[in-house]
DNA sequence: TTGAAAGCGATACCAC
DNA sequence: GTGGTATCGCTTTCAA
C-alpha cells in the first residue's frame, strides 16, 4: 500500500518555479515576494500539502519527539504521569512515544534500544523493578541523549530527576496506622533495588523507630515484579498470615500491590480493618468507593509528568551543555479513609 | 545539546572502504566477503554504531510506526486496548505513538494532523465523543493512509474495524436488571453520535421491548463528553432522582460514567442496590472490591487491541491495494455482582 | 567483491 | 527575488 503525498518538488514543478523558492515561500521567508508566497501557499493548501516530518528531522537533526519508558500504562499512576508529560510536550510541539517494560529488564533494554539513536530527542524513564544495571542508559547519556528520570530513579547517572517524597509517604502511612492503634505493621513492597522501595521503607522504619518499635524482618515482603503477578502477593500474604504473631495492619506500596492485596484479603474473607488494617500507595480515583474505602498515599502524578517533561525540554532546547542538575521532590498526600479506622472504634 | 552518534560514513572512513560496502556488510549482504563483514561489524560493535532510523525511514518511505488515537489512557479499557496493540506491533518491529483526544474533536484533529503524513505507516483510532465529522480521516484514507477503527467507529469510511458486541452488552446488562426484578431502568450514556452509544442503546431498548416495557425518554441521559466532567453525570443523576417516578436501577456505559456514578450515588447516601441498582460498562480490575461489588459488562480490550493491530499491519504490509474489508465483533462478558442483587433478596 | 553515485524530501548557503 | 546545489544518513542500482 502506498500513500503518495505531494512534495515540495511537485509544487515547484506545477508552478514552474524552483524548489528553494517553494521552500522559502512556505516558511514565509522575507526573500520571497508576496505574490509568489500566495501562489505557493494557495497551491499547497489546495493540494493538501504537508511537509514530510521525516525529511525535516533528517535535515534538522532532531525529531521533535520524546520517548517515555514506564512499567505499565494500566497503572493509573503512570497514566496520570503520562498525561502530565503529554500536556507539556504537546504545547511545545513534541510527539510522545510511550513504551512499557512490564517490569522486565530485558524489555527495558529493548525499548530503550528501539527508541533511541536520533529518532528521539530525549528520554523520560522510570526504571523497571528488575533493573539493577543501568549501563544501557549511561551509554546513551554519555553520547549526549538528554534523559530525565522520574519515580524510580538511579543515582548512577547525573541528570535531572523528579520524584515524590517517598520517605514522607512511607512515614505518613505508617504513622497513621500507629496513631490508629495498630502495632504490628507489615510491609509489602517492590524489590529493594529500586529507589522508591528503599525510600518508602526508610519512612516506614523511621515511624516505627520513633515510637520505639522494632521491625520484625518477617513483616517485610518484597514482590520481585512489584505485584505484576498475583502469585507474588498471594505468597506474601499467606506467609504473613501464617506467622504465629500475625500483623494487624499492612502497608503496601504501588498501585498494583495495593489493589491486589485488597482483592486477595477480601477473597480470603479477612475483614478490613477489623482483622487487618490496610494503607497503600495508589492513585486510583476509586479509593473512595472501594470496600472499605482505602486509606492511601496519593502521588501528584500529573505534576510529576509535567515537571519531568519541562526539565527534559529544557535539556533538549538548551544551547549549551548542561552541567547543573536538580532533583525535584514533590509532596505526597495521605487520604485517610475507613481501611485504617482507629482500633478502638472497631 | 547534541548527540553525535557515528554514521556509516565514519565507519567507511575509519576502515578505508566505501559507504556502500559498509552498508551492505551491516545488512549481511551476500555480495560482501566474510572478512570485510567481520571487519565492519566488529568496528560497528566497538563503536556502538546504530543506524539512524530517520534516514532509513526517509529512504524506505516508511517509518515503522503506527499512531493510536484514543480518548484517554487513564481509562483502563483503553490502556488494555493499547497493551494489545503494543503486543502485536512490538513483535512486528513497529513503534507505537499514542495520543489522547480527551473527548475533544479539536484535539482529535490536531492529533491526527500531527501524527500523519509519512511519519506514520498507519493509524488506529477510536473517535472522540465530540466527533461528528470525519472528513479529516476521509482525506487521509483517500490518500492511502491505512486506518483501522476500533471501539467507536464510523461507517462513512470503508476499512477494517473492530468492535465489541455492543448490542449484546446493552442487552445483557438490561436483561440482568429485569431478571433481578428491577422495572424502572434508567440509562446514562455517551452522546448519541458515537457508534457505541446507539448500539448499546439498541440492546437496552430490545431487552425492554421484549418484556413489553416502554422506555420513558426521561430515563435516558446523554453526557456530552462521556462523563469526562463530573458535572455531566451529577446533572444527569440529579434529574433522574428528582423525577416523580424515580428509576430503581441504572445502566451506565463507559468506565468513566460507571465509576463516577457509583461515586456520586455513594456520596449522596444512596444505597446500592437497595435504593438503586447499578450495572455498568467497565474494565477496571477493581470491580470485585468496589462497594458494592459491581455488576459489569467487560469488554475484551486486549483482544480488541491485538485484532486491530493485526488488521492494520496486514493493510500496511499488503503488496496490493486492499478492497475487501471486514468488521470484527468481539463478545462482551457480563459479570454479575452485588450491585444488581435480585430485588426479592433485599 | 567492492565502489560510485543517485535519490528519499526538505533546508540553506551562495550565486545570479 | 529567485534558483542551483550540497547536505542530512542510508539504501540500492549499476559499473568496475
Rounded distance between C-alpha atoms, residue B186 and residue A168, angstroms: 45
A116 neighbourhood in chain B, CB within 8 Å: 50
- Looking at residue B53, what is its pLDDT? 86
Considering only the beta carbons, identify the residue of A73, A139, A143 that sits closest to B82. A73
Q: A323: which strand partners?
A: none
- Closest by Cα among A151, A23, A118, A77 to B50: A118
User: Across the interface, do B53 and A97 touch by the CB < 8 Å criterion?
Assistant: no
Helix axes A301-317, A76-91, angle to 10 degrees: 40
The nucleotides of chain C lying under 7 Å from a protein CB are 1-5, 7-13
Q: Do residues B280 and B206 both lie within one domain?
A: yes
Q: Does residue B325 contact residue B160 with C-beta atoms inside 8 Å?
A: yes
- Looking at residue A117, what is its pLDDT? 60
Q: Which residue has the higher pLDDT, A142 or B284?
A: B284
3-state percent helix, strand, coil for chain A, nearest multiple of 5: 45, 15, 40
Q: Which residue has the higher pLDDT, A345 or B192?
A: B192
Considering only the beta carbons, identify the residue of B79, B285, B318 that sits closest to A79. B79
Q: What CATH number is attached to the domain comprising A48?
A: 1.10.260
- Looking at residue B143, what is its pLDDT? 80
- Closest by Cα among B125, B2, B118 to B57: B118
User: Across the interface, do A2 and B54 touch by the CB < 8 Å criterion?
Assistant: no
Angle at A150 between CA A286 and CA B115, to 5 degrees: 80
pLDDT of A1 over the 50 cut: no
User: Across the interface, do B118 and A54 touch by the CB < 8 Å criterion?
Assistant: yes
Q: Do residues B110 and B148 both lie within one domain?
A: yes
User: Nearest-CA residue to the C1' of C7?
Assistant: B59
Q: Do residues A44 and A115 both lie within one domain?
A: no
Q: Does B2 reside within a domain?
A: no
Does B292 sit behind a cis peptide bond, omega within 30 degrees of 0 on the bond before it? yes
Of all residues in chain B, the percent with pLDDT exceeding 90 is 79
Q: Do residues B254 and B174 both lie within one domain?
A: yes
B264 CB-near residues (< 8 Å, 6+ apart): B230, B233, B234, B237
| Strands, sheet with B147-150, edge to edge from the N-terminal-most edge strand | A327-330, A161-164, A147-150, A122-125, A65-70, A95-100, B95-100, B65-70, B122-125, B147-150, B161-164, B327-330
Backbone phi and psi for residue B171, each to the nearest 5 degrees, phi listed first:
-65, -50
pLDDT digits (tens, 9 = 90+) for B22-37: 999 999 999 999 999 9
In the numeric block, the cell 517490569 is attached to A103
Q: Which residue has the higher pLDDT, B207 or A113?
A: B207
pLDDT-derived band at A69, boundaries 50, 70, 90: very high
User: Across the interface, do B74 and A79 touch by the CB < 8 Å criterion?
Assistant: yes
Residues 31-70 of chain A within 7 A of strand D, judged by CB, are 31-33, 35-36, 55, 58-59, 61
pLDDT digits (tens, 9 = 90+) for A86-105: 999 988 988 888 899 999 99
pLDDT digits (tens, 9 = 90+) for B103-147: 999 999 988 887 776 678 999 999 999 999 999 999 889 888 899
Q: What CATH number is attached to the domain comprising A193?
A: 3.40.50.2300
Q: Do residues B143 and B200 both lie within one domain?
A: no
CA atoms within 13 A on the CB side of A187: 25
pLDDT-derived band at B321, boundaries 50, 70, 90: confident
Of all residues in chain A, the percent with pLDDT exceeding 90 is 79
pLDDT digits (tens, 9 = 90+) for B257-311: 999 999 999 999 999 999 999 999 999 999 999 999 999 999 999 999 999 999 9
Q: Do residues B102 and B153 both lie within one domain?
A: yes
Q: Does B1 reside within a domain?
A: no
- Looking at residue A132, what is its pLDDT? 93
- Looking across all nucleic acid strands, the nucleotide with the smallest C1' to CA distance from residue A59 is D8
pLDDT digits (tens, 9 = 90+) for A143-153: 888 999 999 99
Q: Do residues B182 and B261 both lie within one domain?
A: yes
Q: Does B130 reside within a domain?
A: yes
Q: Do residues A224 and A197 both lie within one domain?
A: yes
Q: Do residues B16 and B34 both lie within one domain?
A: yes
CA distances from B294 to A147, B257, B337 (A): 42, 13, 5
Rounded distance between C-alpha atoms, residue B305 and residue B300, angstroms: 9
Q: Does A249 reside within a domain?
A: yes
pLDDT-derived band at A118, boundaries 50, 70, 90: low
pLDDT-derived band at A320, boundaries 50, 70, 90: confident
Helix axes B195-210, B166-179, angle to 10 degrees: 40
**B24: CB within 7 A of chain D nucleic strand:** yes
Q: Take residue A309 and report the three cell numbers written for it.
A: 517533561
Q: Does residue B236 contact residue B223 with C-beta atoms inside 8 Å?
A: yes
Rounded distance between C-alpha atoms, residue A114 and residue A126, angstroms: 16
pLDDT-derived band at A2, boundaries 50, 70, 90: very low
pLDDT-derived band at B336, boundaries 50, 70, 90: very high
The string of DSSP codes covering B248-290 is: SEEEE-SHHHHHHHHHHHHHTT--TTTT-EEEEE---TTGGGB
List the single best residue of A286, A319, A335 to mutate versus B (max B Cβ within 10 A): A286
pLDDT of B318 over the 70 cut: yes
Mean pLDDT over the full length of chain A: 93
Q: Does A2 reside within a domain?
A: no
A173-196 average pLDDT score: 97
Q: How many domains does chain B have?
A: 3
E strand or H helix at A169, and its extent?
A: helix A166-179
Q: Do residues B146 and B194 both lie within one domain?
A: no
pLDDT digits (tens, 9 = 90+) for B25-79: 999 999 999 999 999 999 999 988 888 888 998 898 888 889 999 999 999 999 9
Q: Do residues B187 and B294 both lie within one domain?
A: yes
Q: Do residues A203 and A275 both lie within one domain?
A: yes
Q: Does A91 reside within a domain?
A: yes
pLDDT-derived band at B1, boundaries 50, 70, 90: very low
Q: Does B3 reside within a domain?
A: no
Mean pLDDT over the full length of chain B: 93
pLDDT of B316 over the 70 cut: yes
3-state percent helix, strand, coil for chain B, nearest multiple of 5: 45, 15, 40
pLDDT digits (tens, 9 = 90+) for B242-251: 999 999 999 9
- Looking at residue A48, what is its pLDDT? 83
pLDDT-derived band at B2, boundaries 50, 70, 90: very low
Q: Does B83 reside within a domain?
A: yes
Which range marks the domain in which residue B160 is found?
Answer: 62-164+301-330
Rounded distance between C-alpha atoms, residue A193 and residue A195, angstroms: 6
DSSP A121: S
Backbone phi and psi for residue B277, each to the nearest 5 degrees, phi listed first:
-85, 160
Residue of B nearest to A146 (CA): B1
In the numeric block, the cell 486491530 is attached to B308
pLDDT-derived band at B232, boundaries 50, 70, 90: very high
Amino acid at each position: 500500500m502506498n500513500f503518495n503525498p505531494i512534495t515540495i518538488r511537485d509544487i515547484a514543478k506545477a508552478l514552474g518555479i524552483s524548489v528553494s523558492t517553494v521552500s522559502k515561500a512556505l516558511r514565509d521567508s522575507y526573500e520571497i515576494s508576496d505574490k509568489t508566497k500566495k501562489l505557493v501557499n494557495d497551491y499547497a493548501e489546495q493540494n493538501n500539502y504537508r511537509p514530510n516530518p521525516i525529511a525535516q528531522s533528517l535535515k534538522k537533526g532532531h525529531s521533535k519527539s520524546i520517548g517515555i519508558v514506564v512499567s505499565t500504562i494500566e497503572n493509573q499512576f503512570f497514566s496520570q504521569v503520562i498525561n502530565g508529560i503529554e500536556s507539556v510536550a504537546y504545547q511545545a510541539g513534541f510527539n510522545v512515544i510511550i513504551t512499557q517494560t512490564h517490569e522486565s529488564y530485558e524489555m527495558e533494554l529493548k525499548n530503550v534500544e528501539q527508541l533511541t539513536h536520533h529518532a528521539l530527542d530525549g528520554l523520560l524513564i522510570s526504571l523497571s523493578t528488575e533493573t539493577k544495571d543501568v549501563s544501557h542508559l549511561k551509554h546513551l547519556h554519555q553520547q549526549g541523549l538528554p534523559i530525565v528520570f522520574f519515580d524510580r530513579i538511579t543515582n548512577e547517572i547525573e541528570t535531572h530527576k523528579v520524584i515524590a517524597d517517598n520517605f514522607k509517604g512511607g512515614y505518613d502511612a505508617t504513622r497513621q496506622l500507629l496513631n490508629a492503634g495498630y502495632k504490628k505493621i507489615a510491609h509489602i513492597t517492590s524489590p529493594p533495588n529500586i529507589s522508591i522501595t528503599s525510600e518508602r521503607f526508610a519512612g516506614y522504619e523511621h515511624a516505627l523507630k520513633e515510637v520505639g518499635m522494632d521491625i520484625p524482618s518477617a513483616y517485610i515482603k518484597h514482590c520481585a515484579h512489584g505485584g505484576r503477578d498475583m502469585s507474588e502477593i498471594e505468597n506474601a500474604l499467606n506467609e504473613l498470615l501464617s506467622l504465629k504473631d500475625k500483623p494487624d495492619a499492612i502497608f503496601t506500596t504501588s498501585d498494583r500491590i495495593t489493589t491486589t492485596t485488597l482483592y486477595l484479603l477480601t477473597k480470603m474473607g479477612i475483614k478490613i480493618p477489623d482483622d487487618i488494617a490496610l494503607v497503600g500507595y495508589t492513585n486510583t480515583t476509586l479509593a473512595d468507593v472501594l470496600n472499605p474505602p482505602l486509606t492511601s498515599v496519593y502521588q501528584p502524578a500529573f505534576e510529576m509528568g509535567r515537571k519531568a517533561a519541562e526539565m527534559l525540554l529544557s535539556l533538549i532546547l538548551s544551547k549549551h551543555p548542561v552541567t547543573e542538575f536538580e532533583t525535584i521532590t514533590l509532596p505526597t498526600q495521605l487520604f485517610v479513609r475507613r481501611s485504617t479506622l482507629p482500633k478502638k472504634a472497631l
